[in-house]
Structure formats: C-alpha cells, structure tokens
Amino acid sequence: MALIPIVIWSAVVVLVAGAFIASFWVKRHGESDVPNPDWTPTNEVFKDPTTNRTMRVWIDQVNQRHYVPEN
C-alpha cells in the first residue's frame, strides 16, 4: 500500500518536469516567427521580459493581435 503514493507522486513529478521542458519549444498565444502577409503592423513595440526579445504587435483582419520578433 505504501508503494501507491510513491508511484503517484513520481508520475506527477515526471509530468510537471515534462511540461516545463516542453514549454521551451511551445510558442505562447499570439506569437509568430514571421508576420502573415495580410497582417498590418502597429506602432506598438515592447521588450518581452521572458525572452528579452523586442516584439512588434501586428493586427489581422478580425483585429486579433499577433506578436512577431523585430529583426
């Protein structure tokens, strides 16, 4: 019976560690490497505090925001 909690906690630790490692390769909401041809750039530029990259905000036809790194 004492083995079951150890197995459960081990599984939780593995899942959390896997999610943390996978987060380095998954893009955040609205982030793109390059802008879509039908997006319009805005004057809004900011420095992403997580990645330290300068990002420009782009708007699509339905006014959704997209964040693209500045070159």
Pick from 29, 32, 37: which is nearest to 61 by CA? 37
Question: How many CA atoms are closer than 13 Å to the CA of 26, on its beta-carbon side?
Answer: 8
Q: Does residue 71 surpass a pLDDT of 70?
A: yes
pLDDT tens digit string along 36-60?
999 999 999 999 888 899 999 999 9
Structural domain that includes position 39: 3-69
Q: Does residue 21 surpass a pLDDT of 80?
A: no
Q: What is the per-residue pLDDT for 45?
A: 96
Q: Does residue 24 surpass a pLDDT of 90?
A: no
Q: Quote the number of domains for the chain.
A: 1
